Structure 1
Amino acid sequence: MVNKFKDTYKRIGSNVKEYRTKVNLTQSQLAEKCGKMDRSKISDIENAKEDFMFSTLLEIAEGLGVDVEKLTKKVKKAKPANE
């Protein structure tokens, strides 16, 4: 994986995991919904251990029932209450 994109892959992986858990799917169940994908591929994506093609991200978004934009968005950190 190219280091300059590591943060992007981490963000996408985190978003995939967040939406997967929101819809109560295991990694295996999501992989099955994505067709010819296995659980380890989902795990590698969630943990930013593997490069992947955009078509893979589209398949995951479809399996989760979300727009692909939701998987690529930056997570806004909540500001402390005293700010």
Structure 2
Amino acid sequence: MKEEHKTTYKIIGEEIRDLRHNKGWTQKDLANRCRTVNREKISKIENAREDYMLSTLIEICQALGKDVRDLFGKN
């Protein structure tokens, strides 16, 4: 990922973690609700360690019962 986008990835990862924690889910629980995203990928996203496709983000949001736009509403 480009260094100039690192902050955005960090914000998204933190929001996903918060949403997951609010549901009382582990990363494995979230992964089990996704079709193609595993626990390791969720960990990397939450910790802003990996670039990812928009479709991955949409799938995670759907599993959380959220719209991808909800990730950007706090700031």
TM-score range relative to shorter protein: over 0.9
Using the size of structure 2 for normalisation, the TM-score is 0.93
Matched with 1:2 is: 2
Partner AA of 1:35 in structure 2: R
Across the aligned residues of Structure 1 and Structure 2, the Cα RMSD in angstroms comes to: 1.1
Pair 1:69-2:65 in alignment = no
Matched with 1:54 is: 54
Matched with 1:21 is: 21
The number of residues matched between the two structures is 75
Q: Which has the higher helix share?
A: 2
Q: Which has the larger radius of gyration?
A: 1
Counterpart-to-counterpart distance in 1, 2:36 and 2:21: 21
Deviation at 1:36, TM superposition (A): 2.0
Runs of 4+ in 1 over 3 A off after TM superposition: none
Identical aligned pairs, as a percentage? 45
Contact 1:15 1:70 in 2 (8 A): no
Query: Any gaps of 5 or more consecutive residues in structure 2?
Result: none
Deviation at 1:24, TM superposition (A): 1.2
* CA distances 1:60-79 after superposition (whole Å, capped 9, x unpaired): 000000111112x1634xxx
Using the size of structure 1 for normalisation, the TM-score is 0.84
Q: Which moved more, 1:28-37 or 1:38-47?
A: 28-37
